[in-house]
Structure 1
Amino acid sequence: MSTRRNRRTHRSGMSGRGVRRTGAALAGGAALLGAAFVPVGSATADTAPPAGTPATMSADALPTWQVDGVVWSMATVGDTVYATGNFSKARPPGTKPGNAKEVTRQNLLAFSLSTGNLVTSFNHRLNGQGLRVVASPDGKRVYVGGEFTTVDGKPHSRLAAFDTKTGKLVDAFKPVVSNKVRAIAATGSTVYFGGNFFHVNGKARTRLAAVRAADGANIDSWRPTADDDEVFALALGPGGKTVLVGGRFQTLDGQKRVGVGAVHASNGALAPWRSRPIPAREGDEFSYVTDLQVQGDTVFGAADGEGHHWFDGRFAAKADGGDLVWLDNCYGATYSILPLGKTVYSVSHAHDCTSLGAFRETTPPTWHRTLAETAVPTGRDRGEPSENSEYRKQPTPTLLHWFPTLASGTFTKQYQGAWAITGNANIVALGGEFPSVNGKAQQGLVRFAVRAKAPNKAGPRAMGAPRASSSYGRITVRWTATWDMDNAALTYEVLRDGATKPIGKVTRTSTFWQTPSLSFTDTSAPKGSHTYKIRVRDALGNTYTTAASKAVKRR
């Protein structure tokens, strides 16, 4: 079965090989943008964050139609999300495969971002998997690239366009691309695309090309080359003057541009790019860009590292010139990234975020497939640089408190969760191969909303009974804190002898990797035997009450 990544199952950080550290603060002319930043502790933001910290989406999984395979890419136009990948059926939320309401959808579908309902008027068939979908700047079209050669039985070779108003295939747009298309960026008049092809409309091209949006004819004045390996991501720079290029290549147009670079949108000539977030390949070990998204004057990039401790995280750079803004060196391949105002969301299988002063590698490894970070730098890297990195102690963002849980899927045999993320300021949607979300069955697609639009029912995790001990006429109650997927600060209410009114409260922040030991001393208990429970409450009123402690006597 062909898969999007065409790669071995990724387990970054699990190899037994030694790691050679080569990073420097600013090595070999790699540019870093000077910036003032305020240190912020990791994972302090959530749906009810402290003042000055950006809020995140809630962790409540919203009802969303499901797919029976994998979603590789998604794009949002207004309230409609277009999703492409490798699947053949779609079904309502909360249903199993084969449900009576299940419908055919062959590698492409659309659903409502606000409701999660399938858009039934958009129904097309790709005869091969779709790898990328993007919208035109005006939202009037979506472009889909991949491995297909027909759409609805009509010849459309690996690149197609759809009218978002009518939902119809744009028949006039049908360039003939010789091999897979993985990346697309569009203006009103031009469609730029990349992948692993060598001919477009019968003319030689090397993994990059541009065609007219009107009819798919070649633009022969735009012919940059990704010389030695595939292109995975494209994005338009500010004002549409440049095309930002990401992928596995080590050179663009014969010049060293490892994994990321820029070319002029007008003629394809190389444009300045001064930072080097992607380390140079060494033998069969390398890192590469999987996604690029521009917000304002900044491009945010996602990376995948193939090898022990090769760069797997995210970076931000100035879209004009490429000066580095920050680089997050969490390990665990990142597949898609979405900047939304002050918060940057991503999907990955992160397993070591020492770089951000957050969770470390565990044995056996644990995978965390959804992350949120600040869009601006807030501190400096707290870990060792990745293999062959150009940077050490570079600016980093803050990890925010948003940790919905996605189970790993089996469809691609790469055992990942989400591969794509899209959305707007109110709702984000994740697509991939996950079979469940937060422990409940939900396959391939899911949505999360801001606090004002969410049910806000994701509460504190279960915790063990407290321990009580008596000494000098006092009873001390001790317990280990729990954590909550979308609230860092939790309040622990101490309940005595089955009462519902607390005799005391303790408020502390916690995360899944840091659950502090807490205590409360009861000085008012009458003489005699007593038991205690802890009722933990998040900022939105969700609670969990523990079992009672063993009885203890106050004398």
Structure 2
Amino acid sequence: MHGRSIRPGRPGQRGPGRRRTLTALALACATPLLCLPLATGQAGALTPPVALTADKLPTWQANGIVWALAQAQGVVFAGGTFSAIRPAGTAAGDPAERSAVNFAAFDAATGAPTDCQLSFTVGSGTATVRALAVSPDGRTLYAGGYFGAVNGVGVSSLAAIDIATCTPRTDFRPSVPATVRALAVTADTVYFGGDFTSVNGTTRQRFAAVDTAGDLTPWTVNADEPGRAVEVTADGRHVAVGGDFFTVNGSDSHALAVTDAGTGAVTHAYPRGFFQDTSVVKDITADATGVYTANEGTGGFDGRTAFDPDTFAQRWRDTCLGATQALQLYKGLVYSASHAHDCSSMGGFPDGQRHHLLAEGINDPHMVGWAPDTNDGIGEGIGPRVFALAPKDGTDYLWVGGEFTTVNGTAQQSLTRVSSGPDTGAPTVPQVQVESTEAGKVAVHWRSSYDTDDSSLTYRVYKDDGTTPVYQVTAGSLPWSRPQLTWTDTSVAAGETHSYRITASDGTNTSGKSAAQSVRVASAADAYAAKVRGDGASLYWRFNETSGAYAADSSSGDDNGVHWNAPTQAVADGAAGSGRSVEYTGSQSEWTYTDKPHSAPSTFSLELWFKTTSTTGGKLIGYGNKVQLVSSRQDKNIYMTNDGRLVFGVYTGSVRAVTTSQTYNDGKWHHVVATEGSGGISLYVDGSLRGANPLVSGNQSFTGYWRVGGDNLDSWPNKPSSRFYTGRIDEVAVYGKALTASQVLAHYKAGTGG
């Protein structure tokens, strides 16, 4: 077990081998955004049940990896593999840097070092501190790792430190000949796990316990592979152990086992298959609500699991992928350190950008709106590895250690911290797009902002030079899910010009106003847009934005797009009279995707305009299972071959596709529509049917995203040399029905003025 966080010395509580929740507030909804109703009320920081800000506080740094944290009476102890510490905001080698050999102590509230200095060294090899824990009375700090001396006093990978004097205890000197990786402490016992096979010359394989004098206890837990986590249950009767192992005391139990706290007898085993063979338990924490594990699995289970506190049966499992390293319980939430990159299996973000710090409910594993972030950093590139919750002067501080080198986008190495308040971080500035395509109306669209500790934000719309908002709404968003919001201003007249700006507030902190977006009020409906909306488009990207990652949806579906890696916007050459388009360069990291996931439609139409001279082909639009990576599952594709022909197809167990005989890479704007419905599949170009197969029925059913500009085309017929399209695209629309031939022709005529 890693960092420990409990106020020492309180009657009736065991010691800082515990990380207890402060309340037991449980989440009630399965999808966080659905918990946040659209209303005209006002948000308030923080958004419950989140009770910690995501605002990083000034904290000294280490020049290596922090593997272990613990706290006592407002002091946080950090252990790891490093040689120096330095102030926040400074680089390695700064004149203020001071020596710290694998250990440092800090004031929990200021982030600055205390005068406690210890040096953990070894005669040969690299010394490291891998585990720290404080005794229940707050007097003794226990340290485990690989070291042979503390401040020159000989020890053997396990040491006890008198906290009051900051000196190693010479009366506690057990002999552990290999690395200690985990610690849990009660009033009379020190439980530990690691790589060793003996303690004090007696066989103890990977787990052992000693008393406060360093003598072995009867607790015997022999495992066949390294131990990485130890935790005493809330009632004190059991000890949960985690690691790489497949057997414990001869019992078939992989990665996790629950043992009797006195004897070590296995009281609950988890046979091979409960966790995948490649999954190991890296951390365990427990309180009265249950036992919780953090798993890392190469190609296996990588998330978190909750177990009943009495029966130790699984209560829930979070199937996010991303090497979970540490857990912290706090006020009804499980905070986790990992590099989570794919939570699609549980309704979260798809495989792509990594999120290193997350939170979920103790009774509901779906992510809530808390997501400060680090990078992967040095070493193994894991990011954060350990937590400690340290109360001081009425504020709770969550300390985070690991191998990261940035926090919330700025340089900060190995250590950071957040607190229970105050919340000082403002939401991001809304991205806004305005348009007037109906007589006497202005549609104001914006991509919802994000705030890494507030998922319910209040938006205020300001018109012209007004200082009083003309519209206000509260809505939900997450850093990885930012739904579009739309307000229509009908208090305008044809021919007038108006501008709009929007702010986002968490109830305490307010963003700056967005840049003013001006529009001339239409006197008549836009003919092409009227056709698209009138025929029921559920997604309609006009691509008229001048900058930013946001592609506004002009349909009633508010299905905004996200430009990934900046395709060129505001190209002064648009289709269907729009005046602007987006240009894709054929880069394998550049496309546009829908912000929200979709269930695969059985009946649909895809529509867009394109202009290219490319001879490398590429995908114009399709449906895939990823947003920031190339999809591993893809379907419902329109793409161009190297010679300029168009292909449309669906996958029904095999690819069923139609291909045009004509070529369209002639540098002119062309209109393409592909449909699937009761009449099979059809492909129209410039208003005319160019391919059809009435016998095709069905397509792949999986949750996915619409993607424009490129994606996987492996195993599709006439595959072009590039998956990614080079050229301009405009006026993208998706429908939940098959457009008729007459509707397609009407759209083409409206777009060409014919």
| TM-score (structure 1 length as normaliser) | 0.82
Equivalences for 1:300-311 in 2 at 5 Å?
300-307=292-299, 310-311=300-301
What is the letter of the counterpart of residue 483 of structure 2? P
**Alignment correspondent of 1:224:** 221
1:443 maps to what in 2?
413
Cα contact 1:498–1:533 (8 A) shared by 2: no
Partner of 1:199: 198
The reply to whether residue 317 of structure 1 matches residue 313 of structure 2 is no
Instruction: Give 1:25's aligned residue.
Output: none
Whole-Å Cα distance in 2 between the matches of residues 273 and 206 of structure 1?
17
2 CA distance for matches of 1:460 and 1:489?
A: 10
2:592 corresponds to which residue?
Answer: none
C-alpha separation in 2, matches of 1:299 and 1:47: 32
Query: Following the alignment from structure 1 to structure 2, what is the Cα–Cα distance between the partners of residues 441 and 58?
Result: 19
Q: Is the 8 A contact 1:537 1:544 kept in 2?
A: no
Misfit runs of 4+, over 4 Å: 43-47, 273-278
1:375 maps to: 362
Shift of 1:424: 4.4
Task: Give secondary structure in 1 for the equivalent of 2:427.
Answer: coil
Per the alignment, in what secondary structure is the counterpart of residue 245 of structure 2?
coil
Note the C-alpha offset of 1:201: 1.7
Once the two structures are superposed, what CA deviation does each residue of 1:166-191 show, in whole Å capped at 9, x if it has no partner?
Answer: 22211111111111111112222222
Q: How far off is 1:322 after superposition? A: 1.4
Match of 2:444 in 1: 477
Q: Which residue of 1 aligns with 2:264?
A: 268
C-alpha separation in 1, matches of 2:318 and 2:136: 29
Decide whether the 8 Å contact of 2:399 with 2:415 is kept in 1.
Answer: yes
Alignment of 1:451-462 (within 5 A): 453-454=421-422, 456-462=423-429
The one of 323, 331, 334 aligned to 1:344: 334
Distance 1:101 1:242 in 2: 46
Cα offsets for 1:405-441 (capped at 9, x unmatched): 212212x1x2222111111472211111221211222
Asked if the contact 1:56/1:401 (under 8 Å) is kept, the reply is no
Report the secondary structure of 2:109's partner residue.
coil
| C-alpha RMSD of matched pairs (Å) | 2.3
Query: Given residue 359 of structure 2, which amino acid in structure 1 is its aligned partner?
Result: A
Match of 1:157 in 2: 156
Question: Greater CA radius of gyration, 1 or 2?
Answer: 2
Q: What's 1:334 paired with?
A: 324
Q: How many angstroms apart in 1 are the aligned matches of 2:457 and 2:222? A: 53
Cα deviation 1:277-321 (Å, max 9, x = unaligned): 95142xxxx1010001111252111100112xx111111113444
Match of 2:434 in 1: 467
Q: Aligned equivalents of 1:37 and 1:435: distance in 2?
A: 33
For the residues of structure 1 that align with 2:327 and 2:237, how far apart are their CA atoms?
A: 22
Matched letter for residue 215 of structure 2: A
Alignment of 1:244-283 (within 5 A): 244-273=240-269, 278-281=274-277
Shift, 1:74, TM fit: 0.8
* C-alpha contact (below 8 Å) 1:74/1:84 kept by paired residues: yes
For residues 29-69 of structure 1, the C-alpha deviation after alignment (integer angstroms, 9 at most, x for no partner) is: xxxxxxx984342265897366xx52331111011111111
Alignment partner of 1:240 out of 233, 236, 242? 236
| Closer, same or farther: CA 48–37 of 1 in aligned 2, 3 Å | closer
The whole-number CA distance in structure 2 between the counterparts of 1:133 and 1:548 is: 54
Matched residue, 1:114? 109
For the structure 1 residues 275 and 539, does the alpha-carbon distance in structure 2 shift closer, same or farther, using more than 3 Å as the test? farther
Residue 132 of structure 1, CA deviation: 0.9
8 Å CA contact 1:342, 1:374 repeated in 2:
yes
Q: Secondary structure at the match of 2:503?
A: strand
Structure 1 SS opposite 2:428: coil
- Contact 1:491/1:538 (<8 A) preserved: yes
Q: Deviations over 1:138-176 (max 9, x none)?
A: 222121111112211222111111122222211111111
2:32 partner letter: S
Q: CA deviation at 1:500?
A: 2.9
- The alpha carbon displacement at 1:463 in A equals 4.1
Distance 1:297 1:502, change over 3 A: closer
> Given that residues 406 and 438 in structure 1 are in contact (C-alpha distance below 8 angstroms), is that contact kept between their aligned partners in structure 2?
yes
1:81 corresponds to: 76
CA 1:111 to 1:269, structure 2 compared with 1: closer, same or farther past 3 Å? same
Q: Which residue identity lines up with residue 297 of structure 2 in the other structure?
A: G
**8 Å contact 1:146–1:159 — kept in the other structure?**
yes
After TM superposition, give the deviation of residue 468 of structure 1 in Å: 2.3
Aligned partners of 1:540 and 1:278: how far apart in 2? 45
Give me the whole-angstrom Cα distance separating, in 2, the residues matched to 1:273 and 1:539.
48
| 3-state SS of paired residue (1:471) | coil
Q: In the TM superposition, what is the alpha-carbon distance from 1:336 to its structure 2 partner?
A: 0.5
Say if 1:114 and 1:146 are closer, same or farther in 2 by CA, change over 3 A: same
3-state SS of paired residue (1:238) = coil
**5+ residue gaps in structure 2?**
3-25, 37-42, 524-754
- 2: distance between equivalents of 1:444 and 1:354? 29
Indicate conservation of the 8 Å contact 2:276/2:301, yes or no.
Answer: no
CA contact (8 A) 1:136 1:186 kept: yes
Secondary structure at 2:321 match in 1? coil
C-alpha contact (below 8 Å) 2:434/2:519 kept by paired residues: no
Amino acid at match of 1:537: S
Question: 1:239 and 1:490, CA in 2 relative to 1: closer, same or farther beyond 3 A?
Answer: closer
Post-superposition shift, 1:481? 1.9
Residue in structure 2 matching 1:415, options 381, 384, 398: 381
- Secondary structure in 1 aligned to 2:181? strand
Higher relative contact order at CA 8 Å, sep ≥6: structure 1 or structure 2? 1
Q: 1:87 corresponds to which letter in structure 2?
A: F
CA contact 2:428–2:504 (8 Å) conserved in 1 = no
In the TM superposition, residue 355 of structure 1 has moved relative to its aligned partner by: 3.8
State the secondary structure of the residue aligned to 2:517: coil
Contact 2:46 2:506 in 1 (8 A): no
